[in-house]
Amino acid sequence: MDLAALHELARKGADYSYSPYSHFRVGAALLCDDGTVFLGTNVENRSFGLTICAERSAIVAAASAGKRSFTALAISTPDSASPVGPCGACRQVISEFMEPDAPVRFGGSDGSLVDATVGSLVPFDSLHELASRLGEADR
């Protein structure tokens, strides 16, 4: 599946948003290595710290179904003209489950898109840096 199709699915995921406080819908589509796609949406709570973002929603849904290998992520923010990237908490969770070279696309309602990688979103990712250093020590 290409990023354009994945981003369209993310847009559909935003339709399921529960955002009565911010009125800011977000959808995410997560592509697994076997071709399965999981959608996520933001789910707000009046105690804002309990809100879950679309990106984490998709990852949690996939992990709950036993999936652990993800190859691409798309995020849609239809209530913002310009693209909005993942928040810091989402970046951390994304980097836990995806390789640094995995593509991430996010876009707003005006059609503009940002194509990035997990590594560019989390440039100093200690998890992957440590793993590569440990791997080098084993050689």
The residue ranges of every structural domain in the chain are 3-137
Per-residue pLDDT tens over the stretch 22-68: 999 999 999 999 999 999 999 999 998 899 999 999 999 999 999 99
Confidence of residue 139 (pLDDT cuts 50, 70, 90): very low
Concerning whether 55 is annotated as a catalytic residue, the answer is yes
Least Cα distance to 78 among 16, 3, 120 occurs for: 16
Contact by Cβ (8 Å): 59, 52: no
Going by CATH, does the domain composed of 3-137 fall within 3.30.160.20?
A: no
Q: Which of 46, 52, 48, 30 is closest to 103 using CA atoms?
A: 30
pLDDT recorded at residue 129: 67
| Active-site pick, 8, 44, 55, 96 | 55
Q: How many CA atoms lie within 13 A of 63 on its CB side?
A: 11
Q: Is 37 helix (H, G, I), strand (E, B) or coil?
A: strand
